[in-house]
Structure 1
Amino acid sequence: MLSFKGYNINPIQLKDAWSLCDFVAANEDHIKRYFPKTLEQNLTPDLSKFFVEKKVKQFALKEVFLFTIKEDESGELVGLVYIKELDWDKKQGEFAYCIGYPFEGKRIMTKAINTLSEYAFIHLGLETLQIIVYKDNIASVTVAENCNFTWIKTLKNEYAPLGENFLQMELYELYKEIET
């Protein structure tokens, strides 16, 4: 559906269940803090199949949009991007994303978020996109900043990783430019 140099972005598909299970298993330590539900729901191929079926339905109903990022050459799943917390009245959605260990630092997620921001503004009709990150998650903060998201404010007690206290998270936003 969407692509940038060497990678493609597609809505989650039923055929992605097995590769999603592999991706989660290979990156468990990397994603468990911020994606515990995704991890928990993809620990086995059967769980992944159920998860993907649910996400395909949610995509069709415009409740949550889950995209895969894959390498063109190998077809390997390298990352996930959610557009979630959709408020159709406000025309607002929030990005959540993760990338596999071997693909960190290659600006893949920056390119994916730029590509999907344009998609969200043009094809979904959203006007405000958000990224909520923990300030110490430097890679995620860098993605927000490199994609021209503006820091808005600190959100107190916004998110508590499993077994941890609540964290203060940083809210970044990007707005669709209104042409006059």
Structure 2
Amino acid sequence: MNLRFDNFEINPIHNGDAWKLCDFMVANQDRLKRYFPKTLAQNLTPTLSQLFVDKKVKQFNNKEEFLFTIKQSESRELAGITYIKELNWDTKQGEFAYCIGYPFEGKNITSKAVKCLSEFAFNQLHLNTLQIIVHKDNIGSVKVAENTNFKWIKTLKNEFTPNGEKPLDMELYELHNET
């Protein structure tokens, strides 16, 4: 599987991604520590990243969770990552989580990746509902939801607790497979 848009590629995580993932996480540590604390903690060294990638490849192959990389096609630089997680195969539902590196922010890359992966989730994984759960102050993530036709459903009270903070209310957006 290889999805493309503009000068970018979306691919399933693979064993050769550990070094790039570690570099990406360390370089973007400040922006990831609030909403991606677990992923960040598991990728602070090359050894930790290799363990993380090995685990994510197994989860991908077992259809437990899907982690994708977004890379520039020419340079192969890791621009971001996108998860399809919290899968419920009975209700055919999954949730997106995504992050983009500082150099790629504000270029609509995440929105294009979510759009491509939504089609993949509906057509290949046969999911019916996709969710994005975001804090209202995370304007970039709210824009991704809106740019990709996800509809605001409701506020989830005390849904997420960042490290060292009080629980936050989060906004639930959904996209339904219309076919």
2:34 corresponding residue in structure 1: 33
CA distance in 2, matches of 1:3, 1:92: 24
| Number of residue-to-residue matches in the alignment | 178
Correspondence for 1:67: 68
- Normalising to structure 1: TM-score of the pair? 0.98
Query: Matched residues in 2 for 1:145 and 1:5: separation?
Result: 20
Shift of 1:54: 0.1
> What is the DSSP-based 3-state SS (H/G/I as helix, E as strand, rest coil) of the residue aligned with 2:166?
coil
Aligned residue number for residue 44 of structure 2: 43
Matches within 5 A, 1:70-109: 70-109=71-110
Ranges of 4+ aligned residues in structure 1 off by more than 6 Å: none
With the length of structure 2 as denominator, give the TM-score of the two structures: 0.99
Tell me the residue number matched to 1:145: 146
Identical counterparts, % of pairs: 69
Unaligned runs of 5+ in 1: none
* Code of the aligned partner of 2:40: L
Unaligned 5+ runs, structure 2 = none
How many Å apart are 1:39 and its aligned residue? 0.4
SS at match of 2:26: helix
Once the 2 structures are TM-superposed, how far is the Cα of residue 73 of structure 1 from its aligned partner? 1.1
Measure, in 2, the Cα distance between the counterparts of 1:136 and 1:161.
Answer: 14
Q: Which amino acid aligns with 2:136?
A: K
Report the equivalent of 2:113: 112
Q: Deviations over 1:74-113 (max 9, x none)?
A: 0000100000000000000000000000100000000000
Q: Distance in 1 between matches of 2:158 and 2:108?
A: 30
Provide the aligned C-alpha RMSD in A.
0.4
Secondary structure in 1 aligned to 2:34? coil
Which residue identity is paired with 1:139?
G
Which residue of the partner structure matches residue 163 of structure 2?
162
